Amino acid sequence: MITLGGQRVYLTRYHTVLFGTLWVPDAWDAMTDDDKYVLLRHERVHLRQRARMGDAAMSFVYLVPFFPLFLAYGRARIEWEAYVETLRATAEVYGVDAAEGLRGHIKRRFVGPEYGWMWPFPRAIDRWFDEAMADVRAEHGAPRPR
Question: Is 74 within the bounds of a domain?
Answer: yes
**Rounded CA gap, 112 and 123, in Å?**
14
Question: Is 93 within the bounds of a domain?
Answer: yes
Residue 94 vs residue 116, higher pLDDT:
94
User: What total number of domains does the chain contain?
Assistant: 1
- Mean of all residue pLDDT scores within the chain: 84
Q: How confident is the model at residue 75 (pLDDT cuts 50, 70, 90)?
A: confident
Other C-beta atoms lying within 10 Å of the C-beta of residue 34: 13
Question: Is 5 within the bounds of a domain?
Answer: no
- Give residues with Cβ within 8 angstroms of 80, minimum separation 6: 128
Residue-wise pLDDT for 95-122, tens only, equals 999 999 999 999 998 998 877 778 889 9
∠ Cα 89 137 83 (to 5°):
40
What is the pLDDT at residue 3? 42
Residue 117 vs residue 128, higher pLDDT:
128
What is the pLDDT at residue 68? 59
β-pair partners for 22: 17
Specify the pTM.
0.83
Identify the domain containing residue 109 by its residue range. Answer: 10-139
Question: Is 35 within the bounds of a domain?
Answer: yes
